Structure 1
């Protein structure tokens, strides 16, 4: 397949086209992803999440400078809120990371959530596969910034970085049940501002209450005024990667990701097939009227549909 060959040979336009196909749900995307599969599995995926205003975009930008100085090829997927008018991302990647837009060693793509919850766009996982096959060393996935619901990133990333700011100290306990529990690395960003000490103390106090983790998430302080602090952040991420590889967690995590991906594909296809069957069934309107009148209940109808669909006995 020509598009696949172009991607694995480093054609940026082919990568952009493939991701657009994925976002738009093109039927061709399945053939492309199938063909790319054997070229994936090498990139290190780092998720960057946290509440709005924590400075995730600035942190991602600083990491890009650092990784490029190390000679690494980097892909970035920045998930933004969706415009209710165009369906696209409200914030553009080149607006926030314009200094990297023309760097051939960096590929940046903004993706609108398009109604998807969990902080990621529905197509994010598949887009990371394309970037992986393209040959990047690291993929940075920046979530939309909606707070406690941003849990999907843990199913995509090898290392999840949770970004907080110095004003977060008073809210650590309310956040604990959400994104606070998925962190592999904590970052107190804008740490030159008042309140950084308190926030760091609150995070460590929370971690002290947890006794069943093999990896205690380090708490790193960063500030754009001191680029060296981002080296400490990347070192913490790298240490987590080594920990996963040496403990066997690396393969377990990726195996779980592959399993979830397969189950997700099955669910998506079954959902689509059953919906198409329902919409094309001659007596469907009559069934709905029977549910409305109380002659049948929704659960009874669902069981009947599943039974006849699985046994191909529906007339």
Structure 2
């Protein structure tokens, strides 16, 4: 099937066509530029979901899908999984927790392998988001790899970034450390039925009190949820909607979109550099055997020396 036919089928809800189009972008096939030209526009709400492993990101995403589908919205999900060190593929673990929506024609869920890219996303995530938006999805959710304090790429990609925390995942000091906590637009204390949830909320409020804001600046709300029981999801959806309205009220959304485009360009450049300057096994062996040093090997990879 030719690319225009695949695009038409994908817009009509054909999941297989959508999957093939994303694969073309991910693999950088000869058809990828045509896909990018044909699928443009859209005005989806891009929601990033990030947080440490075990806080319930996939379960929360499943609950959000349910809420938005009840509202009649088409939802696309890109669940970024760590790559296998052996096959390079994704483990697909996130999709297991979203199985309730597997047969819903208004939902498209795809696991995306990081393929060695750092920052919680894959190098082609931005292109996949742009594709789903252009295919007419109303909401695109990007669930990151379980991230640490410095992996903040999702903030440049998403319109609204949710940071999930859970009781028992660390002491109160974690709430005031720099890094991933600072990029959130909405804080979500998930598993709020567990002991210590009120303390986590209290730590976040203490963090908020330390941040000075000018009049009109966005003040991050703190939502408590029990995603496994869909508790607190309506309040969270409302908070996301309020942030979207705030973005649209000024030039904030336009700024976000420019930053997203810049981040996508940087990610693709990084991926191309990784491909272009791959390290030969023979050179790695020479360094391991002490026949040459790392600095000299870097120069040879970059073409600075013979």
The alignment's TM-score, normalised by the length of structure 2, stands at 0.84
Equivalent residues of 2:172, 2:203 under 8 A apart: no
Gaps of 5+ in 1: 280-291, 306-315
Residue 25 of structure 1 aligns with which residue?
28
Q: Verify: 1:50 aligned to 2:66, yes or no.
A: no
Residue 211 of structure 1 aligns with which residue?
212
Equivalent residues of 2:60, 2:228 under 8 A apart: no
Instruction: Give the secondary-structure state (helix, strand or coil) at the position aligned to 2:76.
Output: strand
Residue 283 of structure 2 aligns with which residue?
none
Q: Verify: 1:156 aligned to 2:154, yes or no.
A: no
Higher helix share: 1
Equivalent residues of 1:77, 1:111 under 8 A apart: yes
Summarize the Cα distance change of 1:103–1:206 in structure 2 as closer, same or farther, 3 Å threshold.
Answer: same
- Superposed, which structure 2 residues align to 1:140-179 within 5 Å? 140-168=141-169, 170-173=171-174, 176-179=177-180
Summarize the Cα distance change of 1:175–1:7 in structure 2 as closer, same or farther, 3 Å threshold.
Answer: farther
Residue 311 of structure 1 aligns with which residue?
none
RMSD between aligned residues: 2.9
Residue 287 of structure 2 aligns with which residue?
none
Offset, 1:77: 0.6
Q: Verify: 1:245 aligned to 2:248, yes or no.
A: yes
Q: Verify: 1:187 aligned to 2:184, yes or no.
A: no
Among 234, 237, 241, the alignment partner of 2:237 is: 234
Residue 257 of structure 2 aligns with which residue?
254
Offset, 1:100: 0.5
Summarize the Cα distance change of 1:150–1:59 in structure 2 as closer, same or farther, 3 Å threshold.
Answer: same
Summarize the Cα distance change of 1:133–1:243 in structure 2 as closer, same or farther, 3 Å threshold.
Answer: same
Summarize the Cα distance change of 1:209–1:140 in structure 2 as closer, same or farther, 3 Å threshold.
Answer: same
| Aligned counterparts of 1:224 and 1:272: Cα–Cα separation in 2 | 38
The structure whose Rg is larger is: 1
Q: Deviations over 1:213-240 (max 9, x none)?
A: 6111100000146534100011111100
| Aligned counterparts of 1:175 and 1:204: Cα–Cα separation in 2 | 10
| Aligned counterparts of 2:20 and 2:121: Cα–Cα separation in 1 | 20
Q: Deviations over 1:112-138 (max 9, x none)?
A: 111111111121111111211221100
- Superposed, which structure 2 residues align to 1:74-223 within 5 Å? 74-168=75-169, 170-173=171-174, 176-212=177-213, 214-223=217-226
Equivalent residues of 2:175, 2:204 under 8 A apart: no
Gaps of 5+ in 2: 281-291
